Structure 1
Amino acid sequence: MIITVTLNAAIDKSLSVPNFKVGRRHRTVEQRTMAGGKGVNIARTLKTLGRPVIATGFAGGPTGTRIVEQLTAESILNDFVRIREESRTNTAVYDPTTGTQTEINERGPGVSARELEIFRDKLLYLATGADMVVFAGSLPHGVEHDAYADLIRECRRRGVLTIIDTDGEPLRHAVRAEPDVMSPNVLEAEELVGHEFNDDEDRLIAVGEMVELGAREAIMTLPDGCVACVQEDGGRRRYRVTIAPREAVAAVGAGDAFLAGYVAARYAGSTPPDCLRFGVACGAESTQRLGAGLVEPREVERLLHEVDVRQVDTADVG
């Protein structure tokens, strides 16, 4: 079983608005409203790919009820802790004429220490039957930056593989808890290691630096694929994985689809290169759909042969 943790779940509204301009009145040509938040998006993709998954986190007020109802309607197993304050609603506007996207993410609810303790007990109960736990997304207001780190340590003590996808101080603390895998994007990785990356060599060096900070493996997602430093055959290997650029319908959530694909392949026992290949194919396929976490498995399989996986010798990256 795979558990996805979304402590700041949301209702996500995705709007397609041609020729979008700030300050003007517009009409949508397509729209979609779904339960969201990074962990929820990952659970949706895992469900589509046929992996056993349960989504958990916080849900509050009528919006929280709607999140749970939508997940249930999608046949995604879920077990959320109800909280007093209202869950958030996020809005993404896609302009198909320019390919640009604008995101407005609400701050989200406050969570009390007691509510966090209830969640901790629930997660550890669920983890007794789990193989992997994916912690993904921002922390709600009122939750300390080290919350993910504490939960990762608890899960690791129980022998459960842990994966983290967040940013800022929560990521900095989480890495020190030695998760099995971390998966930031470029901006999140630059903030973590403290410098910008100019090219692939810089990025390949950076994933090694991220491993030195505490994570066993590090994957940095990019618009055209990823770079990774992974454990393989008793040592560390670095990979650059690419796929040819494609015109996107919407790119929001592509990183979530990538991570879900990677987790799905790892759960099935695939090799590290094949896990990365499958993740990149899922991320690329998801850009063809309005709404996060949506993929078509047959299209993912078709894309696999377009993904190039190249092992990079450590001597080539300093």
Structure 2
Amino acid sequence: MSAPLLTLTLNPAIDQTVTLEHLAPGAVHRALASRSDAGGKGVNVAGCLADWGLPVAVTGVLGADNAAPFAALFQAKGIADRFIRVAGLTRTNLKLLDRHSGDTTDVNLAGLTVTQGVFEAARARLLDGAGPGRLVVLAGSLPGGLSPDTYADLTRRLKSRGARLVLDASGPALSAALAAGPDALPEVVKPNRHELEEWAGRSLPTLAEVHAAALDLHARGIPLVVVSLGSEGALFLTAEAALHAHPPAIDVASTVGAGDALVAGLVAGLHAGADLADTARLALAFAAGKLTLAGANLPARAEVERLAAAVRITHL
């Protein structure tokens, strides 16, 4: 697996986005549009990285019965496909886009149950692609059959090979990863505000409170903490600096995959060796660019660069 960037998606999904004029619970709706995209956090991250022109490989577990959309995506974007196929269907997640408000309501279905044997095969492919300095993204929820400490165990194994880990997870999987010893902590974690609140056990309504919780997370031994804040941008925290990156003004077409695009921009910045401010600009530009398009796709490179230049940075 020669790609310098690698993503793992253990619980991928086909994202079916249905656009409605206005979502009213309990009412009958007529769809304005509908589209299906091969997705899952790691798949979305890889798609954006490939759009940026970086070589990337993907691995994880797919249901063989409806794997065709994933194979087509990987071929179209030049992504190295290292997924394990198993019998059954990859789950479908329903995303209801309210055109009036711009909000998206997610209905995420249960995925495949992954046996220990299948997981070990996927883990072997992941470890096979991880070498010194290689950036590896562990992203998304864990499927049935896997314990919450799965990411912590994978991080420990990958770090022992010299890989650099970016973790984008939530709930028990995130908590277990952050409770692990120093040898199993990722280099980067990217919770959103709600996920950080879950970990901190308290509401974080202000930027100052988000900053304080991010400092607590950093103090556990995470070198770079990034907290996505939706329309407010994102907070980036290292031992040297804390930045608030404000997104540029854009016309939003779809919010599906925006957080994954931010992770992709973050990884692209880390891969390029950019400083924290330029990495923040690129991450916000990836997210903003994706917001202008349906699916986990980026606009042309020149447009992403224009958006990056429009990102405003505030030092905290």
Instruction: Provide the TM-score with structure 1 as the length reference.
Output: 0.91
**Secondary structure in structure 2 of the residue aligned to 1:59:** strand
- 1:289 aligned partner: 293
Distance 1:272 1:37 in 2: 27
Q: Which has the larger displacement, 13-22 or 93-102? A: 13-22
The one of 123, 127, 134 equivalent to 2:126 is 123
Q: % of aligned pairs identical?
A: 33
Q: CA deviation at 1:226?
A: 0.7
Distance 2:22 2:314 in 1: 39
The code of the aligned residue for 1:111 comes to V
The one of 208, 213, 236 equivalent to 2:215 is 208
The code of the aligned residue for 2:156 comes to R
- 1:161 aligned partner: 164
Q: Which has the larger displacement, 68-77 or 187-196? A: 68-77
Contact 1:178–1:216 (8 Å) recurs in 2: no
Distance 1:50 1:21 in 2: 41
- 2:237 aligned partner: 229
Which stretches in structure 2 are left out of the alignment for 5+ residues?
A: none
**Secondary structure in structure 1 of the residue aligned to 2:284:** helix
**Secondary structure in structure 2 of the residue aligned to 1:115:** helix
- 1:316 aligned partner: none
Q: Which has the larger displacement, 13-22 or 51-60? A: 13-22
Contact 1:35–1:71 (8 Å) recurs in 2: no
Distance 2:157 2:217 in 1: 21
Contact 1:204–1:228 (8 Å) recurs in 2: no
**Secondary structure in structure 1 of the residue aligned to 2:240:** strand
* Gap change, CA 1:229 and 1:187, over 3 Å in 2: same
- 2:198 aligned partner: 191
The code of the aligned residue for 1:140 comes to P
Q: CA deviation at 1:56?
A: 0.8
Matches within 5 A, 1:75-154: 75-128=78-131, 131-154=134-157
The aligned length equals 308
The code of the aligned residue for 2:111 comes to G
Which digits, 9 at most, give the CA deviation of each residue in 1:164-185, with x for residues without a partner? 0010110112222210000000
The code of the aligned residue for 1:92 comes to K
Q: Which has the larger displacement, 69-78 or 94-103? A: 69-78
Which stretches in structure 1 are left out of the alignment for 5+ residues?
A: 313-318
Which digits, 9 at most, give the CA deviation of each residue in 1:251-297, with x for residues without a partner? 12111111101111210111111101110111112111122344432
Contact 1:12–1:91 (8 Å) recurs in 2: yes
Instruction: Provide the TM-score with structure 2 as the length reference.
Output: 0.92
